[in-house]
């Protein structure tokens, strides 16, 4: 892909293999790609399997506004759902600061800026 081409959800989907048999790292990478295509900020993939039993990876990102926080989680759910990967649960959709999506081996945390600075999960898990 040339540098001047725009990355869209369609080009991301075409470039990646199916998630039907994806391991945790591949699933986390796909989630990062979706978030990046939707303009999430400060995306981090953190391996947490040696620190907690609840997941193998955390994917953490920031939305510029409460609307973008919701938009980012909706896009992850939509894009992964197209490949038959559904979250086990989603928490925080009725709030605005932090939405958590549990995909079993990968937990996605989408924050607004203030909540991300306050909770600072990177410091806890790195």
Segment 34-67, tens digit of pLDDT: 999 999 999 999 999 999 899 999 999 999 999 9
**What confidence category does residue 101 fall into, taking pLDDT thresholds of 50, 70 and 90?**
very high
**What confidence category does residue 96 fall into, taking pLDDT thresholds of 50, 70 and 90?**
confident
Q: Which residue has the tokens 């995909």?
A: 103
User: Torsion-angle region of residue 43: left (phi > 0), alpha (psi -120 to 50) or beta?
Assistant: beta
Nearest to 63 by CA among 40, 31, 47, 85: 40
User: Distance between CA 39 and CA 91 in Å, rounded?
Assistant: 22
- pLDDT at 14 (0 to 100): 53
Average pLDDT, the chain: 87
- pLDDT at 124 (0 to 100): 79
* Confidence check: pLDDT of 16 > 90: no
Helix runs in 16-120, H state only = 24-37, 66-81, 113-119
Q: Going from the N-terminus, what domains does the chain have, and what CATH number goes with each? A: 21-125 (3.30.460.10)
Residue 76 DSSP one-character state = H
* Confidence check: pLDDT of 10 > 50: yes
């Amino acid at each position: 892909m040339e540098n001047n081409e725009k990355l869209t959800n369609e080009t991301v989907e075409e470039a990646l293999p199916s998630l039907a048999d994806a391991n945790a790292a591949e699933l986390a990478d796909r989630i990062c790609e979706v978030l990046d295509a939707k303009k999430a900020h400060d995306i981090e993939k953190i391996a947490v399997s040696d620190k907690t039993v609840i997941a193998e990876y955390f994917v953490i990102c920031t939305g510029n506004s409460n609307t973008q926080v919701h938009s980012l989680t909706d896009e992850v759910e939509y894009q992964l759902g197209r490949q038959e990967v559904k979250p086990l649960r989603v928490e925080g959709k009725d709030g605005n600061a932090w939405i958590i999506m549990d995909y079993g081996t990968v937990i996605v945390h989408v924050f607004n800026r203030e909540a991300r600075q306050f909770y600072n999960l990177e410091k806890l898990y790195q």
